[in-house]
Structures are given as C-alpha cells and as structure tokens.
Structure 1
Amino acid sequence: MPRTAIVTGASSGIGEATAHELADEGIDIALAARRADRLESIAADLESEYGVDAVAVPTDVREETAVEALVEATVERFGGLDVLVNNAGLARGHLVTELDTDDYRTMTETNEDGVFFATRAALPHLTESEGHLVFVGSFAGQYPRPFNPVYAATKWWVRGFAHSVGAQVGDEGVAVSVVNPSEVRTEFGGDDGDSFAETFEPGEVTEPIEIAEAIRFAATRERSGVSEIDLYRRDKFADTIK
C-alpha cells in the first residue's frame, strides 16, 4: 500500500478531495498549490481527521525549481514517494482569435510544463518505490472542443504524455493512470468566465469526490495499473457530439 503522495492543485476542488481520499487510506500527503493559507488549513484537517502526516508546500508548478524543491521536500520529510497526482491545471480564453498570448502561455505552462516538471522530478522516486503516477486529464483531451481549442490541446498533450510515459516506465514497475472528467463542480473556470461551481447546481454534473474516488482507486492498486478512467456526466454525449 502506498505510504506517501504528492497532490498538485491541492488547495480546492479535485485536489483537495483527492487529498482526503488518500489520507483516508493512511497515506501521508504533501499538498502543493499557490495558496499557502488554504494548504495549511487542509493539512491541519487531514492530520486531525485521519491521523496522517500532511505538509503544505506552496508551489507554482510553472516554476521548474519550485517543483523540484517540492519533490525534494516531500522525500526528505517522508523518506520516499509512492504516488504523484498531477492535478494542477487551468483554462483561459475561448476562441483562438480571442486568446491573448499571456493567457495562452499561462495555460500551456501550467497544464503542460507543470505536468512535465513534476513527472520528471518524481519518476526516480516512483521507480524506487514501484509507485503510481496519476494524471487528471479531461473529456476535452479526447474529443474536439471548438469553443476552447487551446485548453483542449493541453489536455490532449497530458493524455498523450501520460500514456507514453507509461510505456517507458511500465517495465520498471511504475503504474501510470489517466482520469478523465467532464465538468466538475469546482472553482475551475467555465466558458463564460464563471466557475463550474457557480454555473451548475448540485446534482447537475460530477462532484469533486467522484473524481477523487477514481484517483484513489487508481493509486492504490497493489499488483496492477489502471490505464484510464472516464467519468462523464450522463448526458454529456447527447449535447456535445452532434
């Protein structure tokens, strides 16, 4: 059973729910995101509720040295690393002609560079522990998304990178999984600038706990790896694929 995990994007939504799910397994957690106060609060909750060791490591995944420091701090604190959950991500803009360069770079640096930096830094430790590498993908990384093609492209990149890394390190005992949600009721931005938590009522779309439960399942397999899990709202294909 895994003993230590890093969760990026851990200050809210899927990341926060995932930290709770893994802590419920008795796994010590390093929480990574930019909001230090939120991370400290969540870490205290995890320690109080589950009796695990949880540490807040404020991290901007776009910064290579910060990500390397996150992994180093985790290994030093816990003596190793068994699970990395690449969850940090964001969406900016809509149509290509309306997307400014700063938003384009912020999105690609977070969704692609951040995933690469974390994976590269964690893989030697995951190889040593024969651990689990879990990527949060997206419905948008599998099907065309005309209203936000750049975001979709970053998630196609994540999925392709994840499966290719899996092919590279599988014979070294590392399990690589991709979990693909459609809309989830979180602070994540919708297409009109509002968050999905504001756009959708409870029960309309997937809740963070559902994605976190899938991540927990993938990250705690003892002798197998989960390649991919899709969690789509039940009417997703009806209103998306015309």
Structure 2
Amino acid sequence: MSETLEDETVIVTGASSGIGAATAEALAAAGANLALGARSEGRIAALADRLDTDALAVETDVREEDAATALIEETVERFGGIDVLVNNAGVGRGSAVEDLSTDKYRQMMETNADGMFFTSRAALPHLRESGGTAIFLGSFAGQYPRSFNPVYAATKWWTRGFAKSLSAQAGEDVAVTVINPSEVRTEFGAEDGESFNERFEPGSVTEPEEIAEAIVFAATRSPSMVSELDLFRQDKLTDF
C-alpha cells in the first residue's frame, strides 16, 4: 500500500473551505489531480490556482441534479476518469424541530442527502471502471441521538445508511468509506451565529487537517478498504 495518489483523479465537493479545502491540500500533496466543486466559485478557483497539482474548479451546487452531473462530466472530460469521490458538501443547523423553518429543513435535506445521492449516482460508473473509492463525510451526529439538532443528525444517519448500503451493492467494484468526525474547527455553524472556529480553541477539538489526513489514508488503501473511521475529540464520549 502506498500513500501516493500520483496520476489519480479525485473529486472533492464542498471544497471551498474547512474540511474540503484542507482535503484538497492533502490530496494535492499526495499527487492527485483534483476537481473541486463548491458554490463559492471564487474560493475554489483561488484554491485550484495555488495547489501544486492539476486542479479543476467547477462551480457546483450539489442540491441541483444537473450541477452535480456537470461536475462529474467536466472532471471526466478533463482527466479521463475518476478514481476517488469525496462527498464532503454539507450544511447543519441546531434547532428544535418545532422551531426549524421549512426553508432550513429543506436546505439540510437537499444538501446532505440529495446532494450526496446526485453526485454518487453520476460518479458510480466511473468509479466502477477505475475500481475506485467513494468517501462520505458522516458525523458523530449520524451515530448517536442528538437533542439539539435532530434534523441535521437525521441527514447524517442517512449518509451513513446510504454509504453502507451502497458498499453492499457495489461489492468488490468500489471501496466505500464513511468518516465520522465530532466537532471540527471550521466555519461550520456560522450560518446561525458562532462558528466552530470561534467556539473552540486550537487543540481543543479536531482540526480539518486531521480529517484530511484520514481521507488520504482511506483513498490509498488497496486491496483492503476502510469501511468506517471515527475521529472524535478525546473527551467526546463523556457527553453520555
């Protein structure tokens, strides 16, 4: 097994910041060609320019079926195929069910569930052809009940269930990995006020670079696969 992804092509959704941007940096260091998808075209274009690899930036809202398909098609046109898909794009908001607006509910469901489905469906034929890997960003919230953001948690339970069932369906054709972080110091949460960057001191919870390292690890396993990998802050289980 090798830690290099030289000449392999990797798609990263939600690549404009946080885990996605850190993952792009780590994959570029491992030698991969990259396709970066996100709604923030300026951010991913700037990221593609500074990476030391061949990188394509594609403005992508994964909630839109045609946009997710276009990301896959443009990647294949540019690089000839796909070896790894990193399904990272996601949003989350903490709210009691009775206080959650329909718009916020739909945004979470459409991004975290529909977006992963649309992107996976379009990429699967190419991953089967390459014997590639699909990596899904799950969450601690997708494994344990959450009193303060049940809808977000439900989308991550969906992610985990979809990924596991997809792995069963794909069999030996495609490796499938679910990576479950707890809190990660990113811009996550900023939509509702205080982001995780602001809430947590450096070193107190997981850093995005740690998740990126885990993604590279999963992408470079062969002939085995990482089925599931949890990265929690060290005292996380004391919450129970």
| 3-state DSSP of counterpart to 2:178 | strand
Match for 2:42: what amino acid? D
Deviations 1:46-98 (A, max 9, x none): 1xxx3x20011010000000000000000000000000000000112410010
Contact 1:131 / 1:175 at 8 angstroms: preserved in 2?
yes
Contact 1:68 / 1:118 at 8 angstroms: preserved in 2?
yes
* Counterpart Cα distance in 2 of 1:144 and 1:82: 34
1:30 maps to 2:35: yes
* Counterpart Cα distance in 1 of 2:221 and 2:178: 14
**What's the counterpart of residue 24 of structure 2?**
19
Contact 1:190 / 1:199 at 8 angstroms: preserved in 2?
no
Q: In the TM superposition, what are the counterparts of 1:52-91 in structure 2 within 5 Å?
A: 52-91=53-92
Contact 2:94 / 2:148 at 8 angstroms: preserved in 1?
no
Report % sequence identity: 66
- Give the CA RMSD over aligned residues: 1.2
Contact 1:93 / 1:103 at 8 angstroms: preserved in 2?
no
**What's the counterpart of residue 158 of structure 2?**
157
Q: Which runs of 5+ in 2 are unaligned?
A: none
Q: In the TM superposition, what are the counterparts of 1:212-231 in structure 2 within 5 Å?
A: 212-231=212-231
Match for 1:15: what amino acid? G
1:166 maps to 2:167: yes
* Counterpart Cα distance in 2 of 1:202 and 1:68: 37
Q: TM-score, normalised by structure 2?
A: 0.95
* Counterpart Cα distance in 2 of 1:193 and 1:127: 41
* Counterpart Cα distance in 2 of 1:177 and 1:134: 5
Q: In the TM superposition, what are the counterparts of 1:188-227 in structure 2 within 5 Å?
A: 188-189=188-189, 193-227=193-227
Deviations 1:165-215 (A, max 9, x none): 0000023x2100000000000001179631100111111110000000001
Q: Which runs of 5+ in 1 are unaligned?
A: none
| 3-state DSSP of counterpart to 1:32 | strand
Match for 2:160: what amino acid? R
Displacement over 4 Å in runs of 4+: none
